[in-house]
Amino acid sequence: MNDVRDLRNLGILAHVDAGKTTVTERILYLAGATHKRGEVHHGTTVTDFDPQERSRGITIFAAAVTCEWAGHRLNLIDTPGHVDFSGEVERSLRVLDGAVVVFDAVAGVEPQSESVWRRADRHGVPRIAFVNKLDRAGADLDAAVASIRERLRVTPLAVQLPIGREDGFTGVVDLVRMRALTWPGGELAAGPVPDELKPEAVRRRRHLEEAVAELHPGALEEFPGIPADTLEAALRDLTRGGEAVVVLCGSAYRDRGIEPLLDAVVAYLPPPEADPEAPLAALVFKIKDRLAYLRVYSGTLRKGAQVLDVAAGRTERIGRVLRVHAGRHSDVESAVAGDIVAVAGPKGVLAGATL
């Protein structure tokens, strides 16, 4: 990846137990970053790599993970959902360009998901929503979308319709491209919308078009019957402008809905605004195990470079630049503007430092 437009720095945000770590693990598996699915209840997750996290089954530290999807590099921050660790969420939000907010299909908006939503508002982070656990008893996408609208005071735009309910949930209808996405045998398959769902899918597609046309002049010009590419472009503009929130759904535990979520991350969330030719500026958002995790905002950070810790007023040497995969790392020669990496070498740098 050589173009900053192909980079996405995103957080995975949620109330505790909404399933965001499972969502992250499925993303890593499908993107080829892991060779087997990590499970929270087995203590085998990649992002919850701290022993305390694995024993408690919750995310405490904001783990930074890199993977690739559809020609794009994704830097994911899997943030804590527990209120006791909200400081980690606050620090990570400062370095994100977008976020996926995971909601429980039974509970809808919960207290900590509302809290992290407000924090993301303050930082101006564009978001898409993923309503998870549609296979559970009592799961209700419409109720979850209504709670997003009412409690978060935003305009949710559901772009999918579930196929089946609760334990019979087998896939989704993609309302943008009007096709069915199912997972027979665990593999994604695209096909025609089932006959019994066509009237409801047509109704919801029309409702989606109406909602988008009210907010986006370009879509209004082609309403009704907005072409899929035009609708997707309008949804992208509305997401990046903070005017609406695209809502997708699925069951991460059952491996249903993650590929469309990844496609939505690439399609709707923004790349970083960055200038690789400008002088170096980077923000340290985490210190762990003698590594400084940072976001490069401008310039290029190179292995062996001497950099200024602005607050401390001293020069530090960058010994190694590391691409991060939770508890594992790979060396790279440099990091360009917009990237998130870890560095080894600086001795006295603190979280929050500008380099």
The structural domains of the chain, with segments of one domain joined by +, span: 4-268, 281-344
Read off the pLDDT of residues 60-118 as tens digits, 9 standing for 90 and up.
345 678 889 999 999 987 666 555 556 666 777 888 999 999 999 999 999 888 988 99
pLDDT digits 0-9 by tens, 234-269 = 999 999 999 999 999 999 999 999 999 999 999 999
Q: What is the pLDDT of residues 139-184, one digit of tens each?
A: 999 999 999 999 999 999 999 999 999 999 999 999 999 999 999 9
| Residues 6+ away with beta carbon under 8 Å from 296 | 274, 280, 281, 282, 335, 336, 337, 338, 339, 340, 341
Q: Which CATH number fits domain 4-268: 3.40.640.10, 3.40.190.170, 3.40.50.300, 3.30.1640.10?
A: 3.40.50.300
For the segment 260-300, what is each residue's pLDDT rounded down to a tens digit? 999 999 999 999 998 888 999 999 988 887 889 999 999 99
In the chain, % of residues over pLDDT 70: 88
Question: Over the stretch 6-18, which tens digit does the pLDDT of each residue have?
Answer: 999 998 888 878 7
Q: What is the pTM of this model?
A: 0.90
Residues whose CB is less than 8 angstroms from the CB of residue 18 and which lie 6 or more positions away in sequence, other chains included:
81, 102, 103, 104, 107, 110, 113, 132, 133
Environment class of residue 222 by beta-carbon count within 10 Å: exposed (0-12), middle (13-18) or buried (19+)? middle
What's the average model confidence in pLDDT over 311-328? 86
Alpha helix ranges (H) inside 99-191:
111-123, 141-152
Amino acid type, 287: I
Q: Per residue in 68-83, is it b (16+ CB within 10 Å) or e — as a string?
A: ebeebbbbbbbbbbbe
Residues ≥6 apart with Cβ < 8 Å to 312: 348, 349, 353
Taking CA atoms, 241 is separated from 48, 112, 126, 238, in Å, by 32, 24, 7, 5
Q: Which CATH number fits domain 281-344: 3.40.50.10800, 2.40.30.10, 1.10.599.10, 3.40.640.10?
A: 2.40.30.10
